[in-house]
Amino acid sequence: GLSYRWIFNNKTLYVQEDSRRFVSQATGNLYIAKVEPSDVGNYTCVVTNSEAEQSVWGPPTPLTLRSDGVMGEYEPKIEVRFPETTYAAKGSSAKLECFALGK
């Protein structure tokens, strides 16, 4: 099976379900409640296939705070549209994306 983890500023991000951050092991999405200045930095998703004993790193995604502190008219919206199962032939390439939409 696949497992997901996130790297924050080149260090493994350790999250617990009861804190502000959560990593879904079903989708790989990283959720952060009430973003704080300490959350600013680069986030990189790492997907590991335990059967193949291989990991793939995504590109770093920067998180910044708006200087005006204004969220806008709409609250953030998270949309997840992952297939239930992803198949790949041995030796082929597969692209797995971790993403969320919002402000």
- Which residue carries 């879904």 as its tokens? 24
Q: CA torsion angle for 26, 30, 33, 37 (degrees, to 10)?
A: 170
pLDDT at 83 (0 to 100): 63
70: its two tokens: 């204004």
Q: Is 28 exposed, middle or buried (0-12, 13-18, 19+ CB in 10 A)?
A: buried
CATH of domain 2-72: 2.60.40.10
Whether residue 6 contacts residue 30, with contact meaning beta carbons closer than 8 Å, is answered with: yes
Contacts with 59 (C-beta within 8 Å, 6 or more apart), sequence order: 44
pLDDT at 76 (0 to 100): 54
Determine the Cα–Cα distance for residues 72 and 78; give it in Å rounded to an integer: 16
Whether residue 56 contacts residue 45, with contact meaning beta carbons closer than 8 Å, is answered with: no
Mean pLDDT by 10 residues, the chain (103 residues): 89 76 83 85 90 87 77 53 69 64 48
pLDDT at 8 (0 to 100): 93
